[in-house]
Structure 1
């Protein structure tokens, strides 16, 4: 009962709280007056005659003075030294007025010294009440404390429990551990329970949260535990790594939602150091799209490999500013010594890209700049093609002209038998690299060197992979936001599946794949088994301590809605066009053999595609994509629709030109 009293007081309406404090001050004013009379008269006092006026004067004077100084607007649990000083000023003013009245009135039986003693005692009582209120109420949560089980009775669990001492947001009710020898023991008076008793504990102890205090446990083990906990109505949280716990203190801020790695449950493969640094150590490296999800992580990985200079290229001012500031902060801390050069540029601006390469002479380029959001590119095919195809062509032209040694294109699984413009445009970007790498004569007129045999000075390669967790277009942040706001969680189709990989792992593999390139290589990252998006959503709801609301569970917390596949979206993604990929030196990197067009055949088609994209001729763009990219096709009805749109746009443009003339 007494433990819950502060919580109940905090839940009172604000006016009720103010009335309570005012009444308390009135009682303390009367008590101070009684003590002042008792001390002055040197015996236990009972008021009589005009002394009652002095008693009545105390609360009548204190209330308006305290209101004037704002003492009833203060929040007790946030009381500080300023609030106590303000209280002192209020009581001083109150005492001065009281003493003045007593001196002027000269009531019989009321010593004038009471006008000095009473305010002093009153100040002590009021100040003490504010200080005690702060000590009593400080740290109280605005709602009942969450009942916590810690999974892991080892050093991390014990350290966490010690860190929770005095924190009232959580009430630690027990430990869970897989080791049967620990069952029945206690840590600081808190009992350890065996793992198999979790369902029974959920019923008996009514926990609300489980904290995984196993920062060094293998991911596969964590996956098994999470699957066990998933059936229980508990919110699952985790601790950071052991290095983050080295300070010996644990706070609520250290509690984290489950990591993205825990949601896919796959162990990452350690990088091969000799591949990571092969094309980076001591070199000038350029990353396009440096402010994006993949580009920024590439930059973070690259600076640790001691390049001489890192060129950060992006057309978004804020994104470029953010990654440059982050990397510069690491440099200032002594984490790396790489020279950072932020460069605002759009890859569709061929002149700007050429100038950058001429001035800085990069030796390795990681081309991550692209429009990647499928529905947006589907709605803006001309811009998507200009950026993804001809932005890549500009980069390739500049790389060849300025003798860049290594060029790595960040591609996508959506380039395989694409059903959307984004995927088709990325496949054409791959075709450009393959054709240039295989060409035996200069592909560009400004790079002709006569009739002698020609070979590209640049080793081109492309790395194809699926969705990365936590990127700007990933479903994970979207699902978390939807769950936090009470749903619904939106899934396009109950059967849609995707490959997933964390951004750091993908960036490391991209760097290692590029280091193995011989020229024109198509690398494919082994992303493990595909994940059904519906199951991922259900898992995230369950691990948040909530339940899915459906026909079988009408009282559930979160509704999952199916919104239908978006334009150009596929149910299943693929990573290979052909079959039988070959293994490489890295167990997670495969090499594919993909057909391509020679540059002499590809070049004139690209010229037509560029003109169509610049003029916004959607039907022509899609026809060329279907011609170049296996698997991409349009139904006749769609072609007719786009042709009608193109005709309407052309007519509108002509009409506008005539009005202008």
Structure 2
């Protein structure tokens, strides 16, 4: 039985791609006593309610993570929190930096403070590969949020609340994913723009992302930054899988975009271990006043370890990409 079964769960940003996938998984497999969907857009909440039906275990809270008092009200009686709310568009962040700081950094602090005050047991925050060695403002705000959640365990050391972070790559089929964009262009017979034909990326399915978060609640002591061992892919292979034979046009990297993605930097690699029979890496906290210990069975990673999409030892084939793309979300 899952740790989450029979509990009260709240998910911030609950009407996003991850949130919708988690709601379906939780209702079908986790049997929560109560599932609180916390998000700021009433239209998206209405649309998701039409999709998932009127399950009596669901509660719908309009609210913004920038509003700590609203979070405090929503967290009353909640056992577990998934923090998925964030502003995520790289180019939008460069033009609207203050807004990204308010949501991704100050909003994260609000979630931490409210969770401790409400006596929440465990909080798992969603991060991104762009938080590792960030070169854009979005990545910098997410790295800051990661560190806030890890350090939140110091603030909560005398309380029951514990915090952990999961960091993964691009999500296939999520809002903003390149796959629907490529499909649209291919359907119109237009060439597919490739930022750089050398680009590699980490890609994870929504199903695997949800599975990882559920696993994090089982594995965590507090202070972990959990990274999945997932395959890399060449962006050109993805384009050919979406539209075989389509013309590809090299348009160059956008501002703030990397040629290859990274999920564990060399500096973070010094604190990394492999857990779950090699399913995940854990970046362990530097300082753990709350009593974190290295997990039983954890395996050390090689010296000088880093985890990048271009040097990964696992790769999607074009056939595997085609099969994933054809799977209904």
> Normalising by the residue count of structure 1, what TM-score does the alignment of the two structures yield?
0.42
**In structure 2, C-alpha distance between the alignment counterparts of 1:353 and 1:312, rounded to whole Å:** 12
**In structure 2, C-alpha distance between the alignment counterparts of 1:562 and 1:597, rounded to whole Å:** 46
Gaps of 5+ in 2: 290-329
Q: Is the 8 A contact 2:171 2:205 kept in 1?
A: yes
Partner of 2:131: 415
**In structure 1, C-alpha distance between the alignment counterparts of 2:194 and 2:287, rounded to whole Å:** 36
* Residues 1:485 and 2:217 aligned together: no
* Residues 1:535 and 2:237 aligned together: yes
Given candidates 362, 369, 375, the residue that maps to 2:78 is: 362
Given candidates 200, 206, 228, the residue that maps to 1:497 is: 200
**In structure 2, C-alpha distance between the alignment counterparts of 1:485 and 1:588, rounded to whole Å:** 40
SS in structure 2 at match of 1:352: helix
**1:587 deviation in Å?**
4.0
**1:325 deviation in Å?**
2.6
Q: Is the 8 A contact 1:438 1:520 kept in 2?
A: no
Partner of 2:252: 564
* Residues 1:585 and 2:276 aligned together: yes
**In structure 2, C-alpha distance between the alignment counterparts of 1:564 and 1:381, rounded to whole Å:** 24
C-alpha offsets along residues 578-605 of structure 1, whole Å, 9 cap, x if unaligned? Answer: 226322236422211355899xxxxxxx
Partner of 2:158: 455
Larger fraction in strand: 2
- Equivalent residues in 2 for 1:228-627, closer than 5 Å: 274=1, 277-278=2-3, 280-304=4-28, 305-328=30-53, 331=55, 339-358=57-76, 361-439=77-155, 455-528=158-231, 530-542=232-244, 547=245, 558-577=246-265, 578-579=268-269, 581-585=272-276, 587-593=278-284, 595=286
- Equivalent residues in 2 for 1:188-267, closer than 5 Å: none
**1:328 deviation in Å?**
2.2
- Equivalent residues in 2 for 1:119-198, closer than 5 Å: none
**In structure 2, C-alpha distance between the alignment counterparts of 1:420 and 1:587, rounded to whole Å:** 30
**In structure 2, C-alpha distance between the alignment counterparts of 1:352 and 1:438, rounded to whole Å:** 24
**In structure 2, C-alpha distance between the alignment counterparts of 1:370 and 1:423, rounded to whole Å:** 11
C-alpha offsets along residues 240-283 of structure 1, whole Å, 9 cap, x if unaligned? Answer: xxxxxxxxxxxxxxxxxxxxxxxxxxxxxxxxxx4xx21x1111
**Distance 1:590-1:527 versus aligned 2 partners, 3 A rule:** same
**In structure 1, C-alpha distance between the alignment counterparts of 2:218 and 2:137, rounded to whole Å:** 30
Gaps of 5+ in 1: 1-273, 332-337, 443-453, 548-557, 599-661
**In structure 1, C-alpha distance between the alignment counterparts of 2:180 and 2:8, rounded to whole Å:** 34
SS in structure 2 at match of 1:424: helix
**Distance 1:390-1:414 versus aligned 2 partners, 3 A rule:** same
**Distance 1:597-1:412 versus aligned 2 partners, 3 A rule:** farther
C-alpha offsets along residues 94-145 of structure 1, whole Å, 9 cap, x if unaligned? Answer: xxxxxxxxxxxxxxxxxxxxxxxxxxxxxxxxxxxxxxxxxxxxxxxxxxxx
Equivalent pairs counted in the alignment come to 285
C-alpha offsets along residues 279-337 of structure 1, whole Å, 9 cap, x if unaligned? Answer: x11111001111101111111111221110000111111221222232225x4xxxxxx
Q: Larger RCO: Structure 1 or Structure 2 (Cα < 8 Å, ≥ 6 residues apart)?
A: 2
Q: Whose radius of gyration is greater, 1 or 2?
A: 1
Q: Is the 8 A contact 2:120 2:161 kept in 1?
A: yes
Partner of 1:211: none
Partner of 1:185: none
SS in structure 1 at match of 2:269: coil
**In structure 2, C-alpha distance between the alignment counterparts of 1:490 and 1:593, rounded to whole Å:** 39
**In structure 1, C-alpha distance between the alignment counterparts of 2:254 and 2:38, rounded to whole Å:** 31
Partner of 1:149: none
SS in structure 1 at match of 2:145: helix
**In structure 2, C-alpha distance between the alignment counterparts of 1:473 and 1:514, rounded to whole Å:** 27
